[in-house]
Structure formats: structure tokens, C-alpha cells
Amino acid sequence: MSHTCESIVVHCMDFRLQTYINQWLEANLGKASYDRAVMAGGVFDVYDVIRQVDISARLHGISKVILINHEDCGMYGLGATEEHHEEDLREAEEKIRRIFPYLEVDTYYLSLSGVFEKKS
């Protein structure tokens, strides 16, 4: 029997953000309608992200990718600005859309206080 879901959500492993992310996912996507890839640094290593998206697309027929980077991410180190994250998110979106043109991609920047800012 095949099983499908709508989206894959990619976000950082950082423990400080998990409660915010869980609440946001439940409010915005509901329960059990998405795959979840927890990657250190979010889109920091875009090729790891692409690999997860590929598997999710093949196994579960997703139509959407949700990428979440966050403030004060240890993988980016000190001094990583919101603009830096925005640029990485944009780059990841472009790469994913080039390989999977049928997938919708949304990107978000999450502050340490739990505010999600939609970037694309």
C-alpha cells in the first residue's frame, strides 16, 4: 500500500527551537501530514537537504518543501546575520526548484523568541 503526505519540513536540530517548531507545525500543517528532516544547521548543507527531499518525493509523493533556518544557529557560528540565512535559504530554494521543478518551496527564518518570518 502506498502512503503519501503533503510536505517535507527541514529544520535544525537545535533543542531551543523544538517547542516553537512543534507548535508552528501543528498550527500550520496539522498532525501527521508531513515528513520531517532534522538537520544540523537547517539548509547549511544543502546537498544533505536535497538528498532528504529526493527521498521524501520518491517515497511519499510530496508537493511542498518547507525550509526553516533560525537565529543564532551554531552551525553558522557567531556573527551570522539574518541576511546570511536569507541568502542560504534562497540558494537552497533555487537548487531544489532546479532539480524538482514540480515542488513548491517555502522558506522561513525563525527567531530565538519563536517568531517565524516567511522569506519566500
Residues that bind Zn ion in the complex, under the rule CB under 5 A: 12, 14, 73
In the complex with Zn ion, the residue whose CB is nearer, 57 or 119, is 119
Query: Amino acid identity, residue 111?
Result: S
Measuring CA to CA, how many Å separate 93 from each of 11, 76, 89, 98, 102?
14, 18, 6, 9, 12
Q: How far is the CB of 88 from Zn ion (least distance, A)?
A: 12
In the complex with Zn ion, the residue whose CB is nearer, 14 or 88, is 14
Q: What are phi and psi of 94, to 5 degrees?
A: -60, -45
Q: Which residue has the cell 501530514?
A: 33
* Radius of gyration, alpha carbons of the chain: 14
Maximum C-alpha span of the chain: 48
Q: How far is the CB of 102 from Zn ion (least distance, A)?
A: 29
Q: How far is the CB of 75 from Zn ion (least distance, A)?
A: 5
In the complex with Zn ion, the residue whose CB is nearer, 8 or 10, is 10
In the complex with Zn ion, the residue whose CB is nearer, 12 or 57, is 12
Q: How far is the CB of 86 from Zn ion (least distance, A)?
A: 15
